[in-house]
Every structure is written in structure tokens, then in C-alpha cells.
Structure 1
Amino acid sequence: MTAANTLNQPLTLANGIRIPNRIAKPAMSETMGTIDNRVTPELATLYETWSRGGAGLLITGNVMVDRRHLGEPKNVVLEDDRDMERLKRWAAAGSRHGNQHWMQLNHPGKQSPKMLNSDPVSPSAVPFRKEMQSMFGTPRALTVPEIENIVERFARSAALAEEAGFDGVQIHGAHGYLVSQFLSPHHNQRQDDWGGSPENRRRFVVAIYEAIRAATSDRFCVGIKLNSADFQRGGFTEEESLEVIETLAKLGIDLIEISGGNYENPAMAKGTKASTRAREAYFLAFAEKVRERVDVPLMVTGGFRTSEGMAEAVDSGATDLVGTARALAIEPDFPQRILAGESFTSAVRPIKTGIKLVDRLALMEVAWYTRQLARMGKGKPPRQHDRGVLSLVEVIAVMSSRGAWTRLRAS
């Protein structure tokens, strides 16, 4: 089969929902909300562009479930129905051309910058490593009532997403955010029912999943983005990830997206081994291990560069969907071109500022591509050769304005 034939096959989930092809847009944090975290018209414009571009599944950037805890400035927060009409326009625009459109739900936990949050929380009061402590404060340990409240917030946000017309939600359980923190023995050193054993550390994500299921209809999809590992000494391992996947598969989860790493070890931003680069997908080997344990729809994100590499991953049986983010930030119509028979090679390239800490933490990668999303949200084409340092200056300015807004709101 050609790449177009392979990737043009629909995928039917267990609940009967049909994803029209095997190319997916994973979550990218758009930071395109208002300064006070509300939905903007630009989000509808951006997602209509991607829907027109041909991907079978679009997953939004991380929508926060608590406005007191943000991952970045201008995150959208979904706590109530105040923006329901704008949410409906966003949901409709993102599925206008027959694809699925899901909302990613998130809580950053300790990964909330000092500029945005003076009271970060986590399962346990474990600080970031020394060189990151200027950016992120030491969190305090969540109380049990606070944990239960966060579970309820995820469910409430999911119900609102369904009311707005989104086809599903994805729980962000990767990249060191709060769900990932609960799963990791490095970040979760609790001795109560929410920590300690792997079973107890899984309790939080299971509670969130079950609460979302109870708050939404049978045809509403629920997925998760999960680390294969967090690549941190004493942290979340591949074996524990497999156990989480087995648990969620038994509970009936619709789709599992595999990624890896966190802010301290950003494996989600770059591949390392030559053998991994040759296969393109960073986490395909882990997906093959998952296939040996469970039969659940899988999505692998990270590293795909060519239409042939994408098709090979699906043909191998290791994954059902290929997720590619950065390529869609600069060539939003590439899925349509592949499905029409074009042989595609991504124009994605490393983005550097020359500032070692910024470059090593992959912050510039995020900022540069976010800049391209903002252009598309204004109805403009993305630029493949934008200067990286301009994005860094822009991000600093936005974070400073967010800090000023927070101080004003508190006064």
C-alpha cells in the first residue's frame, strides 16, 4: 500500500466513533486565550485552518481546570459556562471538515511558573532541581479535599466541553504536569491513599477518568496522553507506565497517546538515539511493548518527519494514529497533501537562541512554534523562517503582562 492508502484508512473506536484517517494533531499549548484566560475568536480561526488541512483528529492545547493554577500565560481555563458561545464556535470550527475535535484538560501542579503562581501545588513538596528554582517555586503538598476538588474540576470541564460540542477530551497525564506528578515516585512521596504504592499513585488518574465518564455521555470520547517514562532518577518507569495503561484499558479508555519526559528532562522535545531517529517516532518501541499487553487504540507522537515514516509506523501495527505537532504549526495542510498522494518531508528544523538554559529546556522550541499558531489564529500563513529570539522576547513580554494582571486582580 502507498502512504496515502495506509494513512487514509479510518479508525473506529470501541464506542463506535470514527476517526476518518490516521493523522492526528496532538496538543500544542496555543496560549491564545485572553490575559484573564477566556476563549478568543482566534482559536476558532486556528482550528478551522487545521480542520481544513485534513488531519483526522485534532486535540486542543492544554485547557486548564483551575484558573489559580496555570502552565503558561493566556491558557484557556474552563471552570464554568461563561464562554459557552465562544466554546461552541471553537468546537464547531475544529470539526467543520468531518474530523474529530477533542479538548485536552490539564492541571500543571508544580509546573506553574513563579510569574503566574505564588502557591504551586503537587502531591508532595518536592522542589525542581537547582537550576530551575529561579523559574518554579517549591510546591506545597495537596490536601485530600484539594485532590478531590481537582478530580471534580476535571469532570466539570469535560461536561462543559461536551455541552459546547467537542467530540471528546484528553487527560494530560504526561510531561510532568499534575497527573504525571501523581504517577511518579519522585514527585509523589505521599504516605496516604494517594501515594506510596504504584496502585495508590494511579488512584488520581483513575479517579479523574471515572469522574469524567460519569459526567459525560457514552458517545463522548475520553483519552489520555501518558509518558512512557519521565527519564528521571527515581521517577516513573516504563513498567509502571505499562501497568497504568493496562488499568485504563480495562476501564474502557478510548485512546492512549504515548509521549515522554517533563520540563526537567524534555524527551518530548527531542530524540536521542540514532536508531530512534531512523524510525522517526521517538516512542514507537514502547508502543510495541504496549501492543504485547493490551488491545487499545494507540497514538504515538514525536519525531515523524516523512509520509513514508508515518505510514510505516501504522503498517507495523505498533500504532493506530501518528501524532505530529510542529509540522502542523508550519504546514497546516500537509495531511491533506499526503492523503492526496504527495510524498511529504517536514520542514521542521531546530530553533535556537544561543542562550544555553533556554535552548536546553526546549523553551524556545515551544515559543517559536506558538508564534506560528498566533499567525494562523489571525488568518495569516505561518512562517518557516521566523527568527527564534523574537519569540523569546515576545514570551517574556506576555508573561510580564500576565504578572501585572495578577497583581492588579489581587489589589
Structure 2
Amino acid sequence: MAALQDNLILRSGTVLRNRICKASMNEALATPDGKVQPEHVALYDVWANSGASLLITGNMMVDGAHMNEPLVVDALLDANMDLLRKWAATGKRTNTHIWPQLNHPGKQSPKMVNDAPVAPSVVPIPNDMFVPPRELSDAEIEGITDRFVEAAVRLEDAGFTGVQLHGAHGYLIGQFLSPHHNRRTDRWGGSFENRFRFVEEIYRRIRAKTGPEFNIGIKINSSDFQKGGFTEEDSINVAKALDALGIDLIEISGGSWENPVNRKGKQEEKMESTKKREAYFLEYAEKVKSQIGAPLVVTGGFRSSAGISDALASGAMDMAGVARPFAVEPKFGTQIIQNPNHTSPVAPIRSGLKKIDAMAIMEISWYTMQIERIAQGKKVQTKADGVWPALRVMYRFWKNGKAVKRVRA
């Protein structure tokens, strides 16, 4: 069975030098209008020396008018090309592959940045943070598909070795896949084949426009944990269909704004057995792995060298996706390869205020701050200082959300 330091050869011929993937985290370093900043390059220059063989970036939007949150990169801005080339070059110096994560949030675009979200169907998110969406027309769906393709072509030209399509966490690709969110009766909805059509078209068209060595991966939910929604059976069918098309890498995750898996509640109770083995989605991975040939990444919960090694040895996955540990230990990959007893110092971040802690604002805010510190060449912090990190990041996002609206007006 696979070990941490083993190579992983993808269908494209790409050789990943070990089984550690830095999973996507929002860098929150772009300008309000989606411009890449020198801090992105500095951050990935550090992470290119982290010991991970594959780095998945934070969300890059395929439509700057539809952002999932403030301070994310617009992949289609001409002004970004020079810095995107420098960003991609950071990985080449250490034989580390960097894949931008391409996304359209659909209706999961908060009103702080978007008063006119779109979706497969008019099914609102029951949260005051979001405006009810407008249903996409057939022509608009085709246009968004073309935007995914154009973004991938640009990123290949910039020197990145692949892209990851974000089909998890409640964003647009996931909305099309879910019968709860997608209630269309045309060629884009209804049967599994129709709901799958959107991501299939994106994949096929990117493959037709990029070179044979350019990788296409996808992140999908094991389930959206929602009644009448995207089920585990749907997820396995998506994995099998993409595998048949020739996808290079499939990452498994779970949850959305409506049903986040990292907060207390029924989802957490359901996953208690898998938590004992450190990874949240390992039981699902065991089911799907035997049915596909594409390499499988499992993300969510990994914190130690032993936990990752055990999961690899089980044969349930081919690669471990790890996020937050890289925000507090920029060389986490090297640490776990060199020390079989190493465990990340990542721990729950609490403000002491129940309402804030229940919303997970402290968690998101604190790790966002650590990523910013890495990009600025500062030492990361290991403990949160009360509620101030949350308030600081919340204010920054609110201020830049207003700026996004001004830019798009």
C-alpha cells in the first residue's frame, strides 16, 4: 500500500513526488476587484517549500461579478497574467505542482458582494446573508461553461500544471448536481444524466482546449447532508462518470453553508466513527475507491503523520488533503514525512462568546490571519487572542465587500 513519501503518477503522466496535498483555503489577499497581489506569490513561494507535492489554491472566480466572498481572485482579468505567471513559477523551483481551484458560487454568493446571484433554479438559501437567486437561462449556462474553459486555458498559459473544479461545498457545480437545488425540467435538470451535464460539459471543453499533460481535477461532496439533496449514491455516480471521462484526480470533501460538516450537530455525530480514524470522509472513500481508477484525495480532519499513514495503508485513498495545518506550520508536509510521530498543533479556536463560536467565525478568521502573516513573512501565531481576530477579519471582509459592490456598480 502507499506510503507518505511514495510518488503518485496521474493519467496525464504528471508525477507527484509524495502523497501530501495542501487542500484549498481562501487566501483573502486579492483586491476587491479580484486582482492578484505580490502577497499571493510570496505565500506560495513558502508553501512550495512545505513538503507537499500538490498545492490547490483558494477559489479563483470564473466571473468577477459573482464572487463567493471578498478578496478572491478573478481568473479572467487580463491584469492578472504577469503575477499569475510568477505564482505558477514558485512551484517549478521545487517540483511542486500548483493547481488553481476554479469556481462559480451560483446562489452561494453573499449579499455583501452580490445583490443578484444566479442558480439552476429559484431555491433560496435560508440565511439572511444571501439574496434569493435568479434562475439561469440556457444561454447563460453555456456562457458560464465557456468561462470555466477560458480560465483554464489562461492558467495553463500562465504555467500552472492543472486546475481543480470546485464541485463541493454548495457552489454552482454542486447546485446543478443536487436535485434539491436543481429543479429544472430542461436538458440541465431532472435525471442524473441531465444534472451531471453541466460539469461534464465543463470537463470535456477544458480537455479539448488544453494540452495532454494539463491536469483536470475536481472536488466533490460525499453528500450535502440535506434531505432530497445530493446523496452518497449521487456522489459515487459522479465519481464513476468523471472517472470514465478520464479525470486526473478526485478530491472528496463535504458540507455547504447550509449544512457545514465542521460545526456541532447531526453531521458531526454521524461522522464520530470516522473521526476516530482522524479523517472525516474515509468510510465514503472506501466505498468509492473500489469503483474508480482515478486517484482519490480525502480531505478533512487529517492532523498527524500516523493518521495519514494509516489511511494510505488502508487503501481507501491515494493522497491526503490537508488544509489548516499548513496555515500554522508552513512546512507541515516535511514535518510529517520526516517525523512519524508528528502531529499538527491545530486546535479548535474559541473566542469565549458562544454565538460567535457557534458560527465558526473565530476558526475562519484566525486561520485567515495566519495565512496573511505567512504571506507577509511574519511568524505565525499558535493561540488566538480573544475575540479580536474574528472582529478584525469580519471588519476587513465587510469593508472590502462594500468595495466589491462599488467596483461592480
Kept after mapping to 2: 8 A contact 1:264/1:361: no
1:62–1:6 CA distance, 2 compared to 1 (3 A): same
Once the two structures are superposed, the pairs formed by residues 261-340 of structure 1 within 5 Å of their partners are 261-267=255-261, 271-272=268-269, 273-340=271-338
Q: Which runs of 5+ in 1 are unaligned?
A: none
1:73–1:407 CA distance, 2 compared to 1 (3 A): closer
Partner of 1:215: 209
Render the CA deviation track for 1:147-185: whole Å, top value 9, x for unaligned.
111100000000111111111000000000110111111
What is the deviation of 1:269?
6.2
How far apart are the structure 1 equivalents of 2:366 and 2:6? Answer: 33
Kept after mapping to 1: 8 A contact 2:32/2:401: no
Kept after mapping to 1: 8 A contact 2:65/2:408: no
Q: Which runs of 5+ in 2 are unaligned?
A: none
What is the deviation of 1:355?
5.1
Render the CA deviation track for 1:57-105: whole Å, top value 9, x for unaligned.
1010010010100111110001143221100111111342111111100
The range that moved more, 74-83 or 166-175, is 74-83
Partner of 2:67: 70
What is the deviation of 1:388?
5.7
How far apart are the structure 2 equivalents of 1:212 and 1:265? Answer: 30
Partner of 1:12: 9
- Aligned pair 1:198/2:195, yes or no? no
Letter in 2 for 1:126: V
Partner of 2:370: 372
Letter in 1 for 2:119: S
Once the two structures are superposed, the pairs formed by residues 109-148 of structure 1 within 5 Å of their partners are 109-129=106-126, 132=127, 134-148=128-142
1:203–1:276 CA distance, 2 compared to 1 (3 A): same
Give the 3-state SS of the residue equivalent to 2:276 in structure 1. helix
Partner of 2:394: 396
1:313–1:407 CA distance, 2 compared to 1 (3 A): closer
1:192–1:388 CA distance, 2 compared to 1 (3 A): farther
The CA RMSD measured in Å over matched residues stands at 1.7
Aligned counterpart in structure 1 of residue 43 of structure 2, from 43, 46, 55: 46
How far apart are the structure 2 equivalents of 1:51 and 1:224? Answer: 21
1:357–1:296 CA distance, 2 compared to 1 (3 A): farther
How far apart are the structure 2 equivalents of 1:65 and 1:394? Answer: 28
Identity fraction in percent: 50
What is the deviation of 1:407?
4.7
1:34–1:99 CA distance, 2 compared to 1 (3 A): same
Partner of 1:108: 105
Render the CA deviation track for 1:368-396: whole Å, top value 9, x for unaligned.
21111000111112111133622322233
Kept after mapping to 1: 8 A contact 2:33/2:407: no
What is the deviation of 1:291?
1.6
Aligned counterpart in structure 1 of residue 236 of structure 2, from 242, 246, 249: 242
Letter in 1 for 2:219: K
1:364–1:184 CA distance, 2 compared to 1 (3 A): farther
Letter in 2 for 1:59: I
Once the two structures are superposed, the pairs formed by residues 23-38 of structure 1 within 5 Å of their partners are 23-38=20-35
Kept after mapping to 1: 8 A contact 2:166/2:219: yes
Letter in 2 for 1:119: A
What is the deviation of 1:356?
4.9
Letter in 2 for 1:151: T
Query: What TM-score results when the alignment is normalised by the length of structure 2?
Result: 0.95
Kept after mapping to 1: 8 A contact 2:120/2:175: yes
Letter in 1 for 2:133: P
- Aligned pair 1:348/2:346, yes or no? yes
What is the deviation of 1:146?
0.8
How far apart are the structure 1 equivalents of 2:259 and 2:274? Answer: 17
How far apart are the structure 2 equivalents of 1:75 and 1:263? Answer: 17
Partner of 2:407: 409
What is the deviation of 1:405?
2.1
Give the 3-state SS of the residue equivalent to 1:62 in structure 2. strand
The range that moved more, 395-404 or 297-306, is 395-404
Letter in 1 for 2:22: K
- Aligned pair 1:58/2:52, yes or no? no
How far apart are the structure 2 equivalents of 1:336 and 1:406? Answer: 38
Give the 3-state SS of the residue equivalent to 1:402 in structure 2. helix
What is the deviation of 1:350?
1.1
Q: Give the count of matched residue pairs.
A: 405
Aligned counterpart in structure 2 of residue 156 of structure 1, from 146, 150, 161: 150
Partner of 2:169: 175
The range that moved more, 243-252 or 267-276, is 267-276
Query: What TM-score results when the alignment is normalised by the length of structure 1?
Result: 0.95
Give the 3-state SS of the residue equivalent to 1:201 in structure 2. helix
What is the deviation of 1:340?
2.1
How far apart are the structure 1 equivalents of 2:14 and 2:407? Answer: 43
Kept after mapping to 2: 8 A contact 1:171/1:224: yes
Kept after mapping to 1: 8 A contact 2:70/2:404: no
Give the 3-state SS of the residue equivalent to 1:60 in structure 2. strand
Kept after mapping to 2: 8 A contact 1:52/1:96: no
